Amino acid sequence: MYEELAKIVVRDSLKINPNDVVTITTWDHTIDVANAMAVECFKRGADAMISLWTDEYYYGILRELSEESLKIPSKICEAFTEAETATINMFGPKNPEGLKKLSPSKLNAWSEGERKGHYPRNIERKIRNASLPLALLTAERAKVYGFNFEKWKKMINNALTMDLKKMAKVGHDIAAVLEKAHTAHLTAPNGTKLTFELGKRPIHVDDGIIDKNDIAKKSLDTQLPTGSVLTTLIETAGDGKIFFDRPLQQMGVNIPGIKLEFKNGKMKSMKATKNLEPISKQFEKASGDKDKISYLQIGLNPKAEYGYLTDYIVEGAVQIGVGDNEYIGGKNNSSFGMAATLSKATLKIDGQTIIKNGKISLKSKP
């Protein structure tokens, strides 16, 4: 059932070869997908191991371990990092209801431990990673967030069938503009007016394939379904307000109407129509550059649809992040990171319109 998807991930996205050591992280409800991935790795002569997670295990970590323990990188994960050359991640939990009970300070502590233990070494060792949101695609999560489960599943399947080469062409055209860019203006009919700066930072084009050029630029991650262009922003520049028209699903609740105000790159206020508390509590307990503008992400996938957990890959979507961005080449180091999406944005880069009313308007070069 999952053999064709496994071929795409193992053969095309990660280009697994006999020298690779692959860790496949799965939840119990995606074990069939993980088995297909492992078998495909074996067909290509690679060593592969499945790491199984469950809701009980995940919630147990965050419930029972102290904040001090969570801040310390896992020795087991560190050992994996020294052995693996590629990873395939399907991360849950199956039921997000338990997220509502988690301590924000413990989540921050775990984030800090993960950041210390994995990100620097992953980049050093050039470990390729493919993430699949299939473990999130559950009836339980659909119920918690009010999604139509069958429509969600159909959308994911459609988005997976996108022509990767065609999408990559558009992504690289946008990246070519961003690489030379200085000033960006983001507006939307809802009153969004935000000016920020780009400083010739690395541009990450996620087209579903990690090739030699991506590895050289330290663009080591991809997601399937895929489709985005990502770059960090000048953290000390950014003025105006942004009103996100897509709700954020986090900590087991929908958070609609998120509004951020920036001055010189620093977030001066954060509001939402309702349910802001899960984010605000985590923000209050966080350390580091938690209040600085962090990144810009532009969606590329014409077969993805708004309304689920992958709004940021929809063609023409614009996402702005705040907080940690060091893991993608920025200067913000924090245990907090948050981003939300605009669906009807107009984005101008040095006067050139890249996105107009939520549609990519950049003319592709032949």
- Tell me: the pLDDT tens digits for 125-152? 999 999 999 999 999 999 999 999 999 9
For the chain, how many structural domains are there in total? 2
Same domain, 334 and 204: yes
Of 85, 117, 136, the domain-final residue: 136
Q: Where are the alpha helices (DSSP H) in the chain?
A: 3-7, 31-43, 55-64, 67-70, 75-83, 104-117, 119-125, 139-145, 149-159, 164-179, 212-216, 277-285
**Is residue 96 located within the same domain as residue 232?**
no
Could you tell me if residue 158 is inside a domain?
no
**Cα-atom radius of gyration of the chain, to the nearest Å?**
20
Is there a single domain that holds both residue 242 and residue 95? no
Residues with pLDDT less than 70, the chain: 117, 363-366
Looking at the structure, do residues 253 and 346 belong to the same domain, yes or no? yes
Specify whether the CB–CB gap between 287 and 274 falls below 8 A.
no
Phi, psi values for residue 207, rounded to 5°: -110, 15
Does 185 lie in the same domain as 63? no
Could you tell me if 171 and 226 lie in one domain?
yes
The DSSP output letter for 14 is S
Rounded-to-integer distance, Cα 155 and Cα 149, Å? 10
| DSSP letters spanning 49-68 | EEEEE-HHHHHHHHHHS-HH
Pairing of strands 47-53, 21-27: parallel
User: 3-state class of 70 per DSSP?
Assistant: helix
Q: Residue 364: is it exposed, middle or buried by C-beta count within 10 angstroms (0-12/13-18/19+)? A: exposed
State the residue range of the domain holding 47. Answer: 3-136
- Token pair listed for 111: 């984030």
pLDDT attached to residue 364:
58
Residue 151 lies in a domain: no
pLDDT of residue 108: 86
In a domain, 147, yes or no: no
Residues 170 and 124 in one domain: no
DSSP for 325-343, written as a single string? -GGGT-S--BS-EEEEEES
Q: Which residue has the tokens 């929908």?
A: 254
130 near 214, Cβ under 8 Å?
A: no
**Is residue 351 assigned to a domain?**
yes
143 belongs to a structural domain:
no
Assign residue 97 the CATH number of its domain: 3.40.1830.10
Q: What does the pLDDT read at residue 185?
A: 98
* Helix, strand or coil, per DSSP, at residue 291: coil
- What pLDDT is recorded for position 111? 84
Shortest CA distance to 321 belongs to which of 272, 276, 281, 265? 265
**Alpha carbon separation from 359 to 42, 64, 115, 188, 301 (Å, rounded):** 42, 47, 35, 12, 11
- Position 144 in a domain: no
pLDDT score recorded for residue 365: 55
Query: What was the pLDDT predicted at 13?
Result: 94
**Is 159 part of any domain?**
no
Give the other-Cβ count within 10 Å of 352's Cβ.
11
Burial class (CB in 10 A: 0-12, 13-18, 19+), 107: buried
Among 92, 120, 136, identify where a domain stops. 136
Name the pairing type of β-strands 86-89 and 21-27: parallel
Q: Is the dihedral of CA 92, 97, 103, 105 positive or negative?
A: positive
286 Cα distance to chain centroid: 20
Q: Are residues 132 and 265 in the same domain?
A: no
Pseudo-torsion of CA 298, 302, 303, 309, nearest 10°? 20
Same domain? For 179 and 63 the reply is no
351 plus 297 within the same structural domain: yes
Q: Are residues 130 and 203 in the same domain?
A: no
- Nearest by Cα to 339 from 350, 330, 348: 330
Considering the domain architecture, whether residues 102 and 192 belong to the same structural domain is answered as: no
